[in-house]
Amino acid sequence: DAGVTQSPTHLIKTRGQHVTLRCSPISGHKSVSWYQQVLGQGPQFIFQYYEKEERGRGNFPDRFSARQFPNYSSELNVNALLLGDSALYLCASSDKVTGVFYGYTFGSGTRLTVV
Amino acid sequence: QKEVEQNSGPLSVPEGAIASLNCTYSDRGSQSFFWYRQYSGKSPELIMSIYSNGDKEDGRFTAQLNKASQYVSLLIRDSQPSDSATYLCAVVDRGSTLGRLYFGRGTQLTVWP
């Protein structure tokens, strides 16, 4: 059974460009979450989508946007790239629970380098 | 702003020793806590979860939770060089049913042979 898949694995972009990162959730999961991990820091929450609707947004500028498709896959878009956007972008999937949340598995991540 | 603090390390222990990793959190209402292991250049891997006060053991790993002190710890017994990694403490946002996590900065652990 496939886990969370992300693409591309690595990419290099120039300041000012835009980038699209993709994520496919675990089969049956309807929620996708995006995190940014800058070198030396813990992951920071960017977005969470459930059933194609945004359910949460972290403290990131409007240059960051995301969407979720009918098949529950998701895209993270970043416009007007800055050097500080260089990071590992992580995607995780989950499903809504009515009780205790048991944690989720991250995809392998996309390493973005902005030069 | 909810905060998760970890002892910054790096922590270095000899093979076979017990490694102790600590974490405190600011939101007293938090209910779910996780430890992730992250090898250099890789994504975080969930290794332990804990929800109730006390200890939870899984193999060589023991997670400890004290909600009154807002403190979570991870003990690694019989440490192996393969345990060398960064360990991230994560706390679930109170009320989140979809799992919004707050992470600490991580503690880098080195186990030397």
Nearest CB to B44 within list A43, A96, A102: A43
**A44, B46: Cβ pair inside 8 Å?**
no
pLDDT at B11 exceeding the cut of 90: yes
Segment B67-96, tens digit of pLDDT: 999 999 999 999 999 999 999 999 988 777
Q: Which of A101, A105, A108 to mutate to test the interface with B (most CBs of B within 10 A)?
A: A101
Q: Which residue of A has its CA nearest to B46?
A: A105
Give the residue, B98 or B21, on which the prediction is more confident.
Answer: B21
Q: Does the pLDDT at position A99 exceed 70?
A: no
Q: What is the rounded CA–CA span in Å between residue B91 and residue B99?
A: 9
pLDDT at A95: 75
Nearest CA in chain A to B98: A96
User: Does the pLDDT at position A74 exceed 80?
Assistant: yes
Q: With an 8 Å Cβ cutoff, are A50 and B98 in contact?
A: yes
Q: Give the Cβ contact number of residue A109 at 10 Å.
A: 24
Are the C-beta atoms of A5 and A16 separated by less than 8 Å? no
Smallest Cβ–Cβ distance between B46 and the set A41, A103, A109 belongs to: A103
Q: What is the pLDDT of residues B24-50, one digit of tens each?
A: 999 888 888 999 999 999 999 999 999
> Tokens 């496939």 belong to which residue?
A2
Model pLDDT, residue A96: 66
Q: Residue B79: its pLDDT value, please?
A: 98
Average pLDDT over every residue of B46-55:
94
- Burial level of B56, CB count in 10 A (0-12/13-18/19+)? middle
Task: Average the pLDDT over A44-63 and give the result.
Answer: 93
Mean per-residue pLDDT, A64-78: 97
- B105 shares contact with chain A (CB less than 8 Å): yes
Q: Are A77 and A19 in contact (CB under 8 A)?
A: yes
DSSP letter for A4, please: -
- Residue of higher predicted confidence among A72 and A101: A72
Percent of chain A topping pLDDT 90: 78
